Amino acid sequence: MLGYTASKRNITMFKKLLSWKTRVVDTVKMSLKSLALIWWTSPKLTILMLLTLVISSSLTAISAWLLKRLVNDVVVIVKTGNPLDNTTIVLGISCILCNILPFILEPGTGAIRSTLSDLLIADIDKKVMKQASKLTGLAYFDKSQFYDRLRFLQGNTTLPESTIWLLSSTLSNGITLISLLSLTIVISPFIPFAMVLVALPHLCAEYRHHKHAYDTTWDQMPESRQLGYFHGLLFNIKSVREIKLFNVGAHFINRYRELFDTVFKRVLSVKTSHTKSTVLFTLLHGVGLTLLYIYVVLISLQGKITVGDVAMYFSIVAGLQRTFWSLTQKAGQLMGSSIDFHTFWSFFELTPTLKTAASPQEFSHINRAVEFRNVSFRYPGSEETIFSNISFSINAGETLAIVGENGAGKTTLVKLLCRFYDPTAGQIFIDNIALHQYRLGSLRQKIAPVFQDFSHFFLTAGENIGIGDVEQVNNEPAVIQAAAQGQADTVISQLSDGYETLLGRHFDGGTDLSGGEWQKIAISRAFMRDAKILILDEPTAALDAESEHALFQRFKILTEGVTTLLISHRFSTVRMADRILVIDKGKILEEGTHEQLINKSGKYATLYGIQSEKYQS
Ligand SMILES: Nc1ncnc2c1ncn2[C@@H]1O[C@H](COP(=O)(O)OP(=O)(O)O)[C@@H](O)[C@H]1O
Ligand SMILES: [Mg+2]
């Protein structure tokens, strides 16, 4: 029983130690990372910043030491009646300079600081964008935690900057404290220890407060996020229409208020207990310091220290107390922000999830076929198997249509072919070479996609099309040709500034397009590419059946010889394909030409029958 209690206590103590240790280690790591960040931003300014930091934080101690020497000299002069010597004059001038120097340094340090801040914030933004594009697959983009991180990151781009300033305050306080404490050794070796001892309870209380405050913040993170959600709802274009129609604005404001009240109560209790402990420990600290004052006066009366020593001691005690206080606060805040920094930094530690070949080869064209061999797939983090063990192929230059109900997995096949994900099992081959053996960039460059949910870029019409082949984005004839092929030319000719018209209402002066017009822009974007694989994933859902049919006929002529994967719900379009694949519940149900499948009288024939009846009636 006794052993059990003892070991339980050990575990609790170990946990405490571990969490404290982890915090210290985390803080040190964070500090080093922040320093590295600022160093890469500007090595010169970083050195300047560190230099001014060391100088300004040692000035208090230097000036106190000069004061001691000066007072002692003056005492000797008064006692002996000797004239002022040069040393005393230099001491006096130095003393004055030490007191003026901080004011002279101030504007310089301010300028360095704000320049470094601006540079650092811009650097972080660039780093975030780079990291997001480095993640070549979509695995992370499917996870809500990823967006949580991203949101956190966007709300905290100034975190490294504020960490740097916390760190520099901590360092500067540390330097001041050590230099002042070492001065007091001269008076009596007992004083620095006594000073630390007197400050210790206060330090511990402050540390406990910061721990408590950050634990509370951490515990309340879900509520804080919910607060942000309610706040954002009323401004979100996606939710604002329903909120107005259902008249639920006041309801959400109430939800916000209720939630805020609970959050605020906890924050207030932390603050109140902090105020109480601050008053108590400041008082204790004050009593301790008064006792030390008395001790110093006593030993000076005994002649153990000089008048200069006493003057020096009196001049630094207030500074020492302030520095102790500030150091605890800053170090506490620094340790606390290491939690946030951890979340911040974890974004940069995400590594691409796609397989890479040791020596990937360039993809240029398809000689024989694209083959899905025994492919199984489950989305990362999901339990649901979308495909298990499916095999099919698309021959070079062929158009393969995929038919299946909503959610059958058609788009997922497209995503696998674009290598947004790797199959969970099995592989996709092009000309007998596994997809991941090709350099990803070269493969994607040869794929022209028109996705079901294509993007509306808030750029000019010309750029919207041109980025289909980003190197040709300024090649006007190429853009005009692609626009003609995708029939966006007629849309653009009606815009006020033609190809220079800014699209979308996101920015001032932008022109919005209809769903069908945006589609033509997206299709033209695909035509910018010298593609070997064309992907059409229900790109014409906004068009009527007749226009879709006409468009696909154009596609067929314009993309002669390009291997095409076509997804459509319209059988008038689907029947134009060379071959058709019917998928259902992750399996291939039927495969063949339109005629073969009709003759088979299976699922395809039934669906085709239903749709043609509908058109005839
Ligand atoms: N990012 C994702 N994460 C998890 N499941 C997904 C994701 N995207 C699609 N799914 C699921 O995969 C299945 C197939 O979706 P999809 O390929 O889009 O179907 P289709 O294009 O045939 O309508 C659906 O059940 C869908 O819910
Ligand atoms: Mg789909």
Ligand 1 atom closest to Cα of 414? 17
Residue at 44 is within a domain:
yes
Are 371 and 324 members of one domain? no
511 in Cβ contact with 546 (< 8 Å): no
Q: Give the single-character DSSP code of 501.
A: P
> Chain-wide mean pLDDT for the chain?
87
Bridge partners (DSSP) of residue 460 are 502
Q: Which ligand is nearest to the CA of 537?
A: 2
- Residues 6 or more apart in contact with residue 562 via CB below 8 angstroms: 397, 448, 531, 532, 533, 534
Look at residues 530, 563, 580 and tell me which one is the last residue of a structural domain.
530
Same domain, 537 and 523: no
- pLDDT of residue 14 exceeding 50, the answer is no
Give 522's contacts (C-beta < 8 A, 6+ positions apart).
450, 451, 454, 455, 486, 539
Specify whether 442 is located in the same domain as 462. no
Residue 547 CB neighbour total at 10 angstroms:
13
Question: Are 492 and 604 within one domain?
Answer: no
Q: At what angle do helices 159-187 and 307-346 cross, to 10 degrees?
A: 160
* pLDDT 10s digits, 76-94: 999 898 888 888 999 999 9
CA distance 154 to 161: 14
Distance (Å) of CA 89 to CA 84, 96, 311, 358: 7, 11, 18, 74
pLDDT on residue 244: 85
- Ligand 1 centroid to residue 536 C-alpha, Å: 17
Q: What are residue 62's phi and psi, to 5 degrees?
A: -60, -45
Nearest-atom index, ligand 1, CA of 409: 17
160 domain residue, yes or no: yes
Ligand 1 atom at shortest distance from the alpha carbon of 413: 17
Report how far residue 210's alpha carbon sits from residue 232's, in angstroms, rounded to the nearest whole number.
30
In the chain, what percentage of residues exceed pLDDT 90?
45
For residue 36, is pLDDT > 50? Answer: yes
List the structure tokens of 48.
């300047």
Q: What is the pLDDT of residue 603?
A: 92
246-258: pLDDT as tens digits: 888 899 999 999 9
Task: For residue 25, name the pLDDT band (cuts at 50, 70, 90).
Answer: confident
How close is the Cα of 384 to the center of ligand 1, in Å?
10
- Pair (430, 563) in one structural domain: yes
Residue among 428, 454, 395 at smallest CA distance from 581: 395
Examine the domain organization and report whether 121 and 48 are in the same domain: yes
Least confident piece of the model among 134-148, 170-184, 365-379, 565-579: 134-148
pLDDT value of residue 207? 74
On whether the CB atoms of residues 524 and 482 are closer than 8 A, the answer is: yes
Q: Which residues make beta-bridge pairs with 447?
A: 533
CA 349 to chain centre: 10
- Distant-in-sequence, close-in-space partners of 192: CB < 8 Å, separation ≥ 6: 181, 182, 184, 185
Look at residue 475 in the predicted model and tell me its pLDDT: 95
Q: Could you tell me the residue range of the domain that residue 564 belongs to?
A: 367-446+533-541+549-617
From ligand 2's centre to the CA of 256, what distance in Å? 37
Distances (CA, A) of 515 to 431, 449, 492: 38, 17, 14
**Alpha-carbon span 356 to 483, nearest angstrom:** 35
Q: How far apart are CA 607 and CA 480, in angstroms?
A: 40
Whose Cα sits closest to atom 16 in ligand 1? Answer: 409
Give the ligand 1 atom nearest the CA of 567. Answer: 21
d(CA 313, ligand 2 centre) in Å: 78
In a domain, 360, yes or no: no
Q: Which of 411, 415, 417 to mutate to test the pocket of ligand 1 (most atoms within 8 A of CB)?
A: 411
Ligand 1 atom, smallest distance to 452 CA: 21
- Name the residue at shortest CA distance from atom 18 of ligand 1: 411
Q: What is the biggest distance separating any 2 CA atoms in the chain, rounded to whole angstroms? A: 126
What is the Cα–Cα distance from 565 to 531, expressed in whole angstroms? 12
Q: What's the pLDDT at 209?
A: 82
For residue 9, name the pLDDT band (cuts at 50, 70, 90). very low
- Please count the structural domains in the chain: 3
Highest mean pLDDT out of 19-28, 347-356, 571-580: 571-580
Q: Is residue 475 part of a domain?
A: yes
Query: What is the enclosing helix (H) or strand (E) of 536?
Result: strand 533-537
Pair (512, 557) in one structural domain:
no
**What sign for the dihedral angle of Cα 505, 510, 512, 518?**
negative
pLDDT at 160: 83
Q: Please indicate, yes or no, if residue 442 is contained in any of the structural domains.
A: yes
161 and 64 within one domain? yes
Are residues 213 and 77 part of one domain?
A: yes
In this structure, the answer to whether residues 70 and 192 fall within a common structural domain is yes
Minimum mean pLDDT range among 323-332, 364-373, 543-552: 543-552
* Whole-number pLDDT of residue 542: 67
Residue ending a domain, choose from 320, 349, 378: 349
Q: Tell me, what CATH number does 394's domain have?
A: 3.40.50.300
Ligand 1 site, CB within 6 A:
142, 379, 382, 386, 404, 406-412
Strands 385-395 and 399-403, sheet pairing: unpaired
**Pairing of β 433-434 and β 447-450:** unpaired
CATH number, domain containing residue 56: 1.20.1560.10
Residue-wise pLDDT tens digits, 461-512: 999 999 999 999 999 999 999 999 988 999 999 999 999 999 988 788 889 9
> Which residue, of 499, 530, 561, is where some domain finishes?
530
The answer to whether residue 156 scores a pLDDT higher than 60 is yes
Same domain, 249 and 386: no
List, for residues 526-563, the tens digit of each pLDDT value. 999 989 999 999 877 667 777 777 778 888 888 888 99
**Which tokens go with 92?**
């006096």
> Does one domain contain both 244 and 164?
yes
In a domain, 260, yes or no: yes
7 has a pLDDT exceeding 60: no
Is residue 356 in a domain?
A: no
| Strand ordering across the sheet containing 447-450 | 447-450, 533-537, 563-567, 399-403, 579-584, 587-592
Whose CA is closest to atom 14 on ligand 1? Answer: 409
Return the best residue to mutate from 144, 375, 376, 379 for the ligand 1 pocket (most ligand atoms within 8 A of CB). 379
- The residue count of the chain comes to 617
Pair of tokens at residue 547: 């226009």
d(CA 411, CA 402): 10
**Rounded Cα distance, 612 and 607, in Å:** 9
* Chain center to CA of 434: 33
**Which stretch of DSSP H or E encloses residue 291?**
helix 249-301
The model's pLDDT over 115-137, given as tens digits with 9 standing for 90+, comes to 998 998 888 888 888 988 888 88
Specify the residue with its C-alpha closest to ligand 1, atom 1: 142
Atom nearest to 142 CA in ligand 1 = 1
Q: Can you tell me whether residue 515 is helix, strand or coil?
A: helix
The answer on pLDDT for 343 being more than 90 is no
User: Closest Cα to atom 4, ligand 1: which residue?
Assistant: 379
Say how far apart CA 613 and CA 235 lie, in whole Å: 46
Predicted confidence band of residue 459 (pLDDT cuts 50, 70, 90): very high
- Tell which wins on pLDDT, 301 or 617: 301
Among 326, 350, 348, 339, smallest CA distance to 29 is for 339
More confident residue, 205 or 423: 423
Ligand nearest to the backbone CA of 405: 1
Task: Give the helix/strand (H/E) hosting 386.
Answer: strand 385-395
pLDDT digits (tens, 9 = 90+) for 213-227: 777 877 787 788 788
| Within a domain: 451 | no
